[in-house]
Every structure is written in structure tokens, then in C-alpha cells.
Structure 1
Amino acid sequence: MTAETSLPVQVVNTMEHLDGRHAGYRRAHARGACFVATFTPSGDAAKYTTAAHLAGAPVSATVRFSNGSGNPAMPDTQPGGRGMAVKFALPDGSFTDLIGVNLPRFLVATPEQFLALVRALAADKDAGTGDKVNLQAFLGANPSSIPAFQALGEMGVPASFATTGYQALHAFVWVNADGDRQAVRYRWVPSLGEQNLGPDEIAREEEQFLIGELTSRLADGPVSFTLHATLADPSDPTHDATVVWPSDRPSIEVGTLTVTGEVSDQDHWAAQIFDPTNLTPGIELSDDPLPQLRNAAYSVSYDRRTHGE
């Protein structure tokens, strides 16, 4: 298969067909803004991982909050995906990333399923009938995707990026100084709690209000999130992001992220990639195949947007 027809290229091409091609923007989570933050680890992860930002002194971080659509004009007043991507600055001058969205589980388990899903969504858009017959056919063939779509259907409109919980969805593997390995999944919990808007409140908001709301909120003081890690049992699947691990699995509070204000150079940070495969010693990928697809698709998207496409 040539580079022009590789699965990641097909995914990006189909996403462009679905949401339109918007020059200079990401092909997903197109509209967003970056903010300055500090991450302070609790120390509780130190027995499980040597990762410097999870077990040592506080580190600076940059956080990108975003609307999930590939169309930058998508209203914030509609329910849908929201993102929180964090780039931690490590003591040695390198960076590591953690990507979260406001879903409890991912839509698909494999790259091939993701391509089939975006093709189904694009076909329904082209049909223009509103009956979602192609999506229904996809779900019939891929029933493990149904719970995630049910969760999407139950979403409200968040009052703020600061009142939204975010899940990293994919499993990662912590490695400690003795070489012991522990699979984990991450989630960000807002200190303000999760809050959605009611119908009357939605009607009063501007269509694109979330970035401005957070900027105004930060003018009155910082907001924070706690990072939690669920520790997998050896029986828990790490390869399938559509499966939620049992609720009785132990969880630790890894640290606190304190967001203080906007970055001084939004253009610089808008050009950066936040990549779930950008890891640091002490953290490894699991056997979940989707982070590698995301890495490849982000590279295609980055190449196109940096060339004005």
C-alpha cells in the first residue's frame, strides 16, 4: 500500500470530506486555545513509574482545550466532543503528552473500524436524508461501538472547559525502577465538578463561548484538575478502548494540574502536535493499536495544515 493510499491518509481524507477542509486547522478538534499550567505530582505514582513528571517536583505544562469537530465553525452550544490535551515540560528539556476527551470509552477498537466509521458518517452526510442508515449498518456490524454512541447521545453542553471531565481512553503501561509493569488508564477530574448548561442558559450563550468563558474565569483565579489513574487487573483488556474496566479497580490520585491563564503566543502553540505516543521513560504504549493510528493521522494533518491546506 502506497503512502497516498495508506489507512491514515484514507482516514484524514474521509474526515476532510465529512467536516470540510479548513486551511491551517487540525482535521479534528479544529478550534481550540492553549493555556499555561503547572502540574504538581502527589508522589503516589512513584512506586509504579519512573516518569519524572509523575513522581518528582512540579513541572510546567501547556493545555489545549478544544471543540471536537474538524469544522472550526461548529457551535459550542451543541453537545459533542470536547478535548483537553496536556504537554508536560520535563526537567531534561523534553516533553510528554496526555490527550483526553469527554467520553467514557472510545468509539472503536481498531484503526480499520475507525476508517469504516468515518466512511459511514461521510456517506450519511452525502445522502442528506438524516436517517443515518450507514451509521446504523456500521453499529450493526460493530456492536462494541454502541455504548460509546449511547454516551454521545446523552451528552449535555458543558458550562465551561473547566467543568468537564476528560478521559485518556487508551491504556498505557507504567514501568518502575525494578522493571515492574502496571497497565493504567487516566482521567482528569475538574475541581469545580462537572456542570452542564440548561436549555435557557444555552439559549443565552454565544455560539462559540467556551474559550472566552475560560479566559474570563481565569482572570478571577486559576482552575484545577486532578489526574487519576485506574490500575488494571491482569484480566482487564488493554487493547480495546471500547471496553470500560470494572468500577472496583483501584485508582490513585496522580497529581494536580493548575491552569492559570492563556499562553502568550497562541499561534506558536496552535502549530504544535499533542500526540498520545509522545511518551517518556517510565511510560510505554500498551497493545491498544489506536494511539499509533492517531500518531500517523496527526502527522498527515500537520503536514497539510502547515502547508496552508
Structure 2
Amino acid sequence: MNSSSSDDISGALLAAPYQLNIWFGLFLWITGNCGCIGNMIVFCSKSFRNRAYSVYLLSEAMSDFHYFNFVLLTRILQKGFQIPIMIRYVNICRYRQFASVWGNQVSFTLFSFATIDRLLSAQRSNKYRQWSNRLSLSYKLSIGCVLFWFLLIGHRLILYNIYDGTCGPPEGVYAEYDNYFEVVFAGICPPIVMSLLAYLLIKSVRNVIHRRVTPGNDVIQPAVVPRTILQQMDAQLTLMLILQSVITIITYVPYAVQLIYENVTQYWSKSSLRIAQESVFTEFTHLLSYVFFASSFYVSMITNGGFRRQIKRVFLPQKTNEHIDHMNTVQRTVVSAHTQPK
């Protein structure tokens, strides 16, 4: 009885990595693609296209679309459906291993640029604020980000190959360097950088609120003119960036722990049961890291009213335009009432 039960558990553990890649992987692939398309529609719209952070987030959405439809898709086929495309075709092997780190770093860097742009816009000093929302700079940094990481990771396109049925680097110093590079930049840096940026962004938002308090008393004065719709979008986008930073920390800390653990224990003697358990943990943490790329659209839909209006405008253009015209009329009426002499 015990032997049979043990065999059943081992069989379930052995099947779990494949099932995770099929079901969880396909779920992430579908939701991620829908989110990328939604982000591209919104950040290409007239209301957003002239904002620097939109350029960064649009570029990130394009990068994520490639990430889902090559990196994640090949993972599902290789590790879920057991189609050996990476160990059968050298070019796919090289490009997939390159894109897995390159796409990761490009997306995180562009998201960091968008967060820094919002951070600069909330600063008290005009010297820092003038660096926010610089459209020409955002285009240059987006292109520079893609080229920078390509030059830094492009060696995988040349040096990676198929060795003994495995797609990987040649053994030796290069393999050690490449391994630790991925651990540091793809595993450890994202949660640390996002933690720092989230903290600074939250602190800056609090400072903006505190600056509304008049010196000499603690009474918050009401604004004379209500915020414009675009200002409300910017404030809501700041909230979205903070939540996305929190998601990054939650999803990438397990991934970083797994990468470190794998490197520390790679020469340890392990039982078959432990290997099976670690395989499940490895596949789960690697798939969990895709949640950051798949979640931005849905976080924006929940937190950003302007974002939702842009989506409605695409699918319900006439009704949404009438609503926006009504909102603009109401806003002009309120502004006029506040500015009339008493």
C-alpha cells in the first residue's frame, strides 16, 4: 500500500511540471497577448501619445508581445507539450536563449524609465521636473535601451549551441559568467530596483499631498481649479506603476531565490523525490515571473479611469465620445464658476 501510494505521488510530481507549463503557461500566453494588444491600443491613442511615459509603456508592450509569442510560446511547446524545437534547431536554440534575457531586461528597463518619469514629475525642484515628460528623450532612451541590452546579451546568438541534447553555453569560464549574469540581472536586480522605485514614487506622491498644506496651519486648502482629465490620468497612472512594482517584487523574489538555490546546490547529491519537487518549484517560479508582463493592462484597467475610457472609445466610440463631451462641459462649467469674481 505504502509503495503504491509513493509511486502515485512520484507520478504526480513528475507530471506536474508539464501540466504547469501547459495550463498555467497557456493562461499567461492568452492573457498576456490580450493585455499587450490593449496597452498598444491605449498608448497609441491621442490622449496618451504625447506623454513620455506612454512612449516607454508602448515600447514595453511591443517588447512584451514578442516575449509572449516567442519566449513563452517556445517554453510551452518544449516543456509542456514536449516538442523538442530548442534541441532540434540551433537557430531557435540561440535566439530563444538570447530573447529570454534580452526581452526581460528591455521590458524592465522601459518600465523603470516610465516610473522615473513619473518620479521626476512629482519633484519639488524645477531642475528635476524639467526632465520629466520629454518626448524626444523618451524615443532616444527607448531605442538606446533595446540596443544596449542587445550588445550586452548578443553573445548568446553566437556562442550558444546544442550540447548532448541540451541548448546551452559551452562549458568553462563563459558558462560561469553567463550563468551569474542571468542570476544577477534577470533574478536579483528587478525586485531590488522595483522596490527602490516604488518607495521613491510613494514618497514623492506623499510630498505632493503635503505641499498642499499651507504653512502655519494644518488645514488642507481646496484647489481653486479642479484637475484636468489628463492630470487625473497621470495620478492614476502613478498608482498603476506603484502596484506593478509591488507585483514585480512578489513574482520575482521566488524566481531570484530559485536561481540562487539552483547555483548553490547544483553539485549536491539529491534523491529522486527531491529532484522531482525542485522541478515543480522551478517551473512554477519561472512561469510566475511572466505575471509581471501579463498584468500591466489589467492593473491599468482597475486603477485608471482614463485608461478604461480609451478602451471603451475603441469598442463603443459614439457612446464614449458623448460621455467625454459631457464631462468636458461639466468641467468647463465648474472652472468658470470658480474663476468668476465674487
TM-score scaled by length of structure 1: 0.28
Q: Which has the larger radius of gyration?
A: 2
Higher percent of residues as helix: 2
* Higher RCO (CA-CA < 8 Å; seq separation 6+): 1
TM-score scaled by length of structure 2: 0.26
